[in-house]
Amino acid sequence: MHSPNYMSLYQWIDGKKLSGDGRATSQVLNPFDGTVLAEMPHATAADLAEALKSSERAFKLWRLVPAWERSAIILKATDLIRERLERFALMLTLEVGKPLAEARMEMGLTIESMQWAGEEAKRIYGRTVASRLPHGRAIISREPIGPVAAFAPWNVPALLTGRKIAAALAAGCSMIIKPSEETPATCLLIAEAFADAGLPAGVLNVVLGDPAEISHTLISSPIIKKVSFTGPTPVGKQLAALAAQQVTPVTMELGGHAPVIVCDDAHIDTVVAFSVPNKYFNAGASCIAPTRFYVQDAVYDEFVAKFSAAAGDIKVGSGLDPETRMGPLANARRLSAMERLIADALAHGGKLTAGGKRIGNQGFLFEPTVLVDVPETAQIMNDEPFGPVAIISRFSQVEDAIEKANRLPFGLAAYAFTTSTARAALLSDTLESGMVGINTYYFGMPEAPFGGVKQSGYGSENGTEGIDAYLVTKFTNQA
Ligand code: NAD
């Protein structure tokens, strides 16, 4: 059973759709109104065993497929996704709640990322070094690492599954991927596009169900040679520890708590015009969402007034309504987290200058919120809100703002706005972050690596680094 606009859900294992047959199920909800979109079948132990065997078999074949052919299949699947974009966008809006325009934007990023990986399949290079022997050969080659287990979250489910799949397949790996139990549809549609593009059965398997059971089974298996995880830092720590038991390398893209330093030489209208849509994009549920705004004394009052007014003007509602600029939070956990974090900030002396509460009592709509005067002891200054809350604080000296920005154990994205080239260089050099945006929030280029430092994770997706993550190095010395 599924709602008319949504899709029926299944495990995609070895080229077969598996559902029913007594499998346990859980409900996928529409976060706008809380209605049930579909029943999602859970992978059984036998399903996971079959997915592992199939992935192992398929890897042996796929790694021998010439790079140009791998590339052609990935690019063909990408073309099919482009043709089917409206269907994908509708699924995203239904299961995540995001406005259709944002869903289309996510699909644009997914397509670009997959296209980049498909093209990069042809550019995996080794090298030779001078042999120590006459007529000898010393060859350094790059080989696919093996079957991959991948885990993706619910916030940008098409992009975060699509770019993992395309990069692994480009490198010659097979993959078993588990999308979030809350957002399985677009991952299945991506798998369908790959099947239609001629990807051999088993190269890509999609399993759904209980995250802990699936991750434990897959990561503990000696078949799996690489783990890629995007999601919460506490879960990333558990999975990294599990992978360490097999000495399996992992790519971890975890939480953030992005600082934004707004200097007094910046053009405040422009900064506000950039910042507000980026803060409330995807209802704030983005690991690179700007969260802690540090604004210099001279422009602080102006920034707070203009930012709060713009946040208050955002139209919140159904993602299917073209007037909507922000959809609901994606799940009930985010709703209770917002209520808890805001109450705690207020109890610590913080003040609201916009929003602060739930809208209505159906689904998970929440007001775009701005907090000021929040001390560092408040929970929200330390835990990633992952929701539509901006916290604005003031600073006098840029060096102090940098210290505050670097205070947390996270380091995924950091931003700064200044027209001074000297300040831009200082900020770029000293912000402890995998990605630094100076006068921009844009990191959506698949040709550049995306990843964090500190407890935001390690390894990168996108860029040549994103393909490298699925390769191992071999040195052959031929006498
Ligand atoms: P949560 O703790 O409820 O975790 C749910 C997510 O983690 C789901 O995607 C689930 O499938 C996965 N998960 C949980 N246990 C797992 C396990 N044992 N094995 C594999 N996967 C497992 O968190 P939440 O409420 O969904 O999200 C809140 C926090 O998650 C945010 O504060 C944010 O830091 C983080 N997050 C980060 C990203 C990102 O893009 N880096 C995306 C989503 C969530």
Of 372, 370, 383, whose CA–CA distance to 337 is shortest?
A: 383
Model pLDDT, residue 150: 99
In whole angstroms, give the CA distance from residue 230 to residue 253. Answer: 5
Interval 425-475: pLDDT, tens: 999 999 999 999 999 999 999 999 999 999 999 999 999 999 999 999 999
Q: Domain 11-254+456-478 maps to which CATH number in 3.30.1330.10, 3.30.110.40, 3.40.605.10, 3.40.50.970?
A: 3.40.605.10
Predicted confidence band at 360 (pLDDT cuts at 50, 70, 90)? very high
How many Å lie between the centroid of ligand 1 and the Cα of residue 181? 10
Spans of all domains in the chain: 11-254+456-478, 258-445
Write b or e for each residue in 259-288: b if 16 or more Cβ atoms lie within 10 A of its Cβ, otherwise e: bbbbbbebebeebbebbbebbbbbbbbbbb
Q: What share of the chain in percent tops pLDDT 90?
A: 99
CA angle 113, 27, 337 (to 5 degrees): 75
Q: Bridge partners of 206? A: 12, 177
In whole angstroms, give the CA distance from residue 150 to residue 161. Answer: 8
Question: Is the beta carbon of 180 within 6 A of some atom in ligand 1?
Answer: yes
Interval 419-437: pLDDT, tens: 999 999 999 999 999 999 9
Model pLDDT, residue 3: 86
**What residues act catalytically?**
253, 287
Model pLDDT, residue 398: 98
Class of domain 258-445: alpha beta
Predicted confidence band at 4 (pLDDT cuts at 50, 70, 90)? confident
Question: Which tokens belong to 227?
Answer: 């783990």
Question: Is the beta carbon of 115 within 6 A of some atom in ligand 1?
Answer: no
Interval 160-173: pLDDT, tens: 999 999 999 999 99
The single-letter code of the amino acid at 2 is H
User: Is 413's pLDDT higher than 80?
Assistant: yes
Predicted confidence band at 1 (pLDDT cuts at 50, 70, 90)? low
Model pLDDT, residue 2: 78
Question: Is the beta carbon of 368 within 6 A of some atom in ligand 1?
Answer: no
Model pLDDT, residue 55: 98
Rounded to two decimals, the pTM is 0.97
Average pLDDT estimate for 181-210 = 98
